[in-house]
Structure 1
Amino acid sequence: MGMVVETEEWVLTPLAYPLLSAASLAAVLLLPHFSRPHAAVVTPSSPSPFDVGTTPFLRFRRAFLLLFCLASVAEGIHSVFGEDEFVRCGFGREQMAARLAAATAAVLFLGGASGVVSDKLGPQNACIFYWMLQLAVGALKSFSGLRCAWVNNFILALASSMFSFCFETWIVLEHEKQGQNQDSLFDTFWLMTFFESISLVGSQGITNLLLDDDNKGILLPYTFAALVSVIGILYIRKAPSISTAHHASVIGSYQKSFFAHVLRGE
């Protein structure tokens, strides 16, 4: 006697995504309000991570968090499909493994050098380069004939490796430039982690709204990611630039350390 196993796919309703985002944001906004009497005893000058620092720094941090949210949305859209994207392209397991292994190998070589290149270019130019990589992937995947190309995996893997450090480097240098203390930096990283999580959840909801059942419907989220990349590039170019003289000196220290510790064995 044969046994039939029925599978039921569980999917959140589209209304659940804004509700989760609103609940998380309300928890962060209301926590300083309800904990203000206790915080005033311990640290009366900093009851909330939202109002610590000078006015120029707070203005920069709000703009930076908005830019970081856009980057997280673009990153989440490209990672939402996973194996389903390869299945839609008609790849088997061996081909999927080959694509993922090749992209990982490329990141091992290119990703290691991207940190040095980022120090040479400066944090803002490194972030612009990240947005250009996201724009290239979004533009290529917007066409059905180029959606399954090898170059998409390489570019996306390199962009993901740069995402992990280029924005963090920028905010750390801005903290040092404006003379902010270490607690303010910790609060900023906490806010970055929170807004990154919210943006990733929001990117899943945006993808579900733009996605259709047919194969052509999968192209709309990539077009939206390319549009977000264009907005990010235009937005970051308006930010005040940071001098790259310090980064040029860092390259010299890299060269001295490489010759001393690797070639000479000191």
Structure 2
Amino acid sequence: MEAFYIGFFLVLLLLLGAVELGKSHKDRIITNTAFSSFKNNYLVVYCLMMAGDWLQGPYVYFLYTQYGFNKGDIGRLFIAGFGSSMIFGTFVGSLADKYGRKRASVTYCITYVLSCMTKHSPEYKVLMLGRILGGIATSLLFSAFESWLVAEHFKRGFDAQWLSLTFSKAVFLGNGLVAIVSGLVANLLADTLSLGPVSPFDAASCVLGLGMVIIMYTWSENYGDVSENKSLLDQFRGAASTIASDEKIALLGAIQSLFEGSMYTFVFLWTPALSPNDEEIPHGFIFATFMLSSMIGSSLASRLLARSSLRAEVYMQVVFLVSAGTLLSPVLINFLTTSSGEKGGSISLPGKLQLFSFCVFEVCVGIFWPSIMKLRSQYVPEESRSTILNFFRIPVNIFVCVVLYNVNAFPITIMFGMCSIFLFMASVLQNRLMVAGGKQSALEVSRNWFSESAVDPEAEPLNI
């Protein structure tokens, strides 16, 4: 492996250490023992759930190729997964609100374990069933657990600001550290120990089973709106009506869809962007670099969210603008440089520049997740939280299915340019969300803060 990759990784690791060690008392939230116990229990479960998901990622595509399927067949399998999440997601979210978030979390474990079991079969229909089950499980992963956490947090009387601590730690560990470790474990099982590409899926089943046991014996149940015995259809209609009638919720859903749609598109495009001439790049090591960058972002987010005087509605505008700039980099680099046209070899200078910009984008992703979770806890009503969160994922799944279906129809620069435009739109909508919520604009906040700092250098940012 080139010294460039190792050096780049070490620089990011040092930066993460500097961010973590540089935290002052203003960047920390003072809690109590009861909350710490509650938070740690949730983090253990969340990390196990994410490990069950991350363990599968590196070998899904490879396993399908080992069964003899071509790119078109594999593409249809992936579309089935996203389509399943889109079609069934809203309904399973409503079921979670109606019959309990704890039950929904256990259902996630069972559904995903069944999906993993289908990977032992080379039959296309069985694998398609597995993708459908995986899509349903994904919908539960991104709605039921967060809904349970928020409801349980307030039911136990904890401070609202403490939620941001749990969110940032969940992203730092579950979407960062666990992702890196899971990738290494999957590689150890499949390649080093020569157990084959199905072994990571078996490991995921074991991890999910352990998490399910912890949920069953340590979590209490909570529900959505239990004041009325609403049917599933009425609950579905009620959630749709809530989104349509509340501009802030609708804006939040649009912002999330624009960002996540761009993020999932990036997942498909970063490999050809870094190796347009089939350059030899260490995919697993670059993935670990991205995850480390995301950990830096979540660590930064914990510092931002710890300050009650600085709201996520403000700084997320800047995050979206920076994200738009980073995904525009392939377009600009392609315009300003010429391809060598040589096949193979090591990563080119344009590729190195893009790798840097992609890592900055991953930092933004790390900031995005805990921040959007915090915003959802503020704006999404408790009685239909799971249903609404899955509503938000419908545009994302449609967008990703369209991209997968047409991934070869457009130049890669067009795809990245489209994502950049979407992220710029997210920044505009974020500003509108802040105005709708009665907050000051980022420019006004900056102007007031600098004005106050001129008088008192120790002054905190104004409460917005």
Please classify the TM superposition score into its range, dividing by the shorter chain length.
Answer: 0.7 to 0.9
**What does residue range 58-73 of structure 1 map to in structure 2 within 5 Å?**
58-73=36-51
Residue 186 of structure 1 aligns with which residue? 164
Residue 211 of structure 1 aligns with which residue? 190
Residue 94 of structure 1 aligns with which residue? 72
Q: Which amino acid aligns with 2:148?
A: W
Query: Alpha-carbon deviation of 1:94?
Result: 2.1
Residue 159 of structure 1 aligns with which residue? 137
**Unpaired runs of 5+ in structure 1?**
1-7, 40-46
Partners of 1:238 and 1:180 in 2: CA distance:
22
Whether 1:78 and 2:69 are equivalent positions in the alignment is no
1:48 paired residue among 28, 32, 39: 28
Query: Alpha-carbon deviation of 1:131?
Result: 0.8
Runs of 4+ more than 6 Å apart: 19-25, 259-262
Partners of 1:214 and 1:151 in 2: CA distance:
29
Residue 210 of structure 2 aligns with which residue? 231
Query: Alpha-carbon deviation of 1:225?
Result: 0.8
Partners of 1:220 and 1:261 in 2: CA distance:
41
**TM-score for the superposition, normalised by structure 2:** 0.45
Q: What is the number of residues matched between the two proteins?
A: 237
**TM-score for the superposition, normalised by structure 1:** 0.75
- The 1:243/1:172 distance shift into structure 2, 3 A limit, reads closer
User: Secondary structure at 1:90's aligned position in 2?
Assistant: coil
User: Secondary structure at 2:161's aligned position in 1?
Assistant: helix
**Unpaired runs of 5+ in structure 2?**
246-464
Partners of 2:222 and 2:15 in 1: CA distance:
37
Higher relative contact order (CA 8 A, sep 6+): 1
Residue 325 of structure 2 aligns with which residue? none
Q: Which amino acid aligns with 1:176?
A: F
- The 1:21/1:76 distance shift into structure 2, 3 A limit, reads farther
Partners of 1:136 and 1:257 in 2: CA distance:
27
Partners of 1:182 and 1:79 in 2: CA distance:
34
Residue 115 of structure 1 aligns with which residue? 93
Partners of 1:20 and 1:240 in 2: CA distance:
40
Residue 278 of structure 2 aligns with which residue? none
Conserved? CA contact 1:73–1:199, under 8 Å: yes
Q: Which amino acid aligns with 2:98?
A: K
Residue 112 of structure 2 aligns with which residue? 134
Identity %: 23
Describe the superposition over 1:159-185 as per-residue Cα deviations: whole angstroms up to 9, x where unpaired: 112111111111101221122223211
Conserved? CA contact 1:116–1:251, under 8 Å: no
Query: Alpha-carbon deviation of 1:129?
Result: 0.7
- The 1:216/1:251 distance shift into structure 2, 3 A limit, reads farther
User: Secondary structure at 1:211's aligned position in 2?
Assistant: helix
Partners of 1:57 and 1:99 in 2: CA distance:
42
Conserved? CA contact 1:69–1:199, under 8 Å: yes
Conserved? CA contact 2:91–2:236, under 8 Å: no
Residue 30 of structure 1 aligns with which residue? 21
Partners of 2:132 and 2:2 in 1: CA distance:
32
Conserved? CA contact 1:140–1:146, under 8 Å: no
Q: Which amino acid aligns with 1:72?
A: M
- The 1:24/1:111 distance shift into structure 2, 3 A limit, reads farther
Describe the superposition over 1:102-133 as per-residue Cα deviations: whole angstroms up to 9, x where unpaired: 33322221112111011112121111111111
Conserved? CA contact 1:114–1:162, under 8 Å: yes
Q: Which amino acid aligns with 2:197?
A: I
- The 1:259/1:115 distance shift into structure 2, 3 A limit, reads closer
Residue 149 of structure 2 aligns with which residue? 171
Q: Which amino acid aligns with 2:211?
A: G
- The 1:172/1:204 distance shift into structure 2, 3 A limit, reads same
Residue 199 of structure 1 aligns with which residue? 178
Partners of 2:12 and 2:105 in 1: CA distance:
26
Residue 3 of structure 1 aligns with which residue? none
Query: Alpha-carbon deviation of 1:84?
Result: 1.9
RMSD of aligned Cα (Å): 3.6
Conserved? CA contact 1:74–1:225, under 8 Å: yes
Query: Alpha-carbon deviation of 1:247?
Result: 4.0
Q: Which amino acid aligns with 1:130?
A: Y
